[in-house]
Amino acid sequence: MAWEKSAAAAAAELVAAVNDSQSVHLRGIKQDPRAMWETLELVHRSGKAKNNSLSTWNEFHITQYTNYSIPLKAHIGGILEISNRLRDLFPDPPSNKQIIARILSSLPRDFDQAVNAISDHSNRDDRNYVVGRILRGKFTICRNGGLAVTFPGQTSALATTITIEPVVCSNCCRGHSLEQCFHKGGPLEGNIPNWFLKHHQTPQANFTHVFAL
């Protein structure tokens, strides 16, 4: 019959258009072009999902914290966001211990002291403790190291005569002193100033200038 000839012709065109790796999925249905097309579409979607899964795993493993200008909380949040995506893609996503290990291994050598302290602590598997300890570690790094400031048109020798030490709250890691902290855990918790309610932002960091003599 005419429709059978048309179906056979369509099936033949599909078989001719696919490669060997795709053709293997068509065994047993090469006389049904509709079933062939639906099978190829499913294989294509599965392939895209597999590539996306591999890309997400790769992103999870290579993410590193290399730029101090990026908030550390944002970096950690990025790793947690990737782990959530993996949870949607795989029945066996990263465990809590694996996520903590990935966060710690993403930190530069400056954080070695904090990482060692976490590894020896009884709460090393508590994600909230680990994140809080890392944030305090960055606060210590900022306080001890300072930031070198350069100025256009000046020699490097002159430019490095000024060091700026940012004021960072040890409670919330924002740009104010601990005594001024109105965030959770701070001495002024709940006493939110009017300027914050008006502008919805944290105060800019105060700076202490230390001039080399």
Average pLDDT over residues 4-15: 54
Separation CA 78–CA 102 (nearest Å): 12
pLDDT at position 27 is 53
Judged against a pLDDT cut of 80, whether residue 19 lies above it is answered with no
Judged against a pLDDT cut of 50, whether residue 207 lies above it is answered with no
Percent of the chain whose predicted confidence (pLDDT) is above 90: 12
* Burial class of residue 100, CB neighbours in 10 A (0-12, 13-18, 19+): buried
* Burial class of residue 171, CB neighbours in 10 A (0-12, 13-18, 19+): buried
Separation CA 37–CA 43 (nearest Å): 10
Neighbours of 65 (CB within 10 A): 20
pLDDT at position 105 is 93
Question: What stretches of the chain show up as alpha helix (H) in DSSP?
Answer: 2-17, 20-23, 33-62, 72-89, 96-105, 112-119, 127-145, 156-159, 194-199
pLDDT digits (tens, 9 = 90+) for 66-98: 877 778 888 898 899 989 888 888 778 889 999
pLDDT at position 211 is 33
Judged against a pLDDT cut of 60, whether residue 103 lies above it is answered with yes
pTM above 0.75, yes or no: no
pLDDT at position 168 is 61
pLDDT at position 145 is 58
pLDDT digits (tens, 9 = 90+) for 46-60: 545 555 677 888 888
Mean pLDDT of all residues in the chain? 68
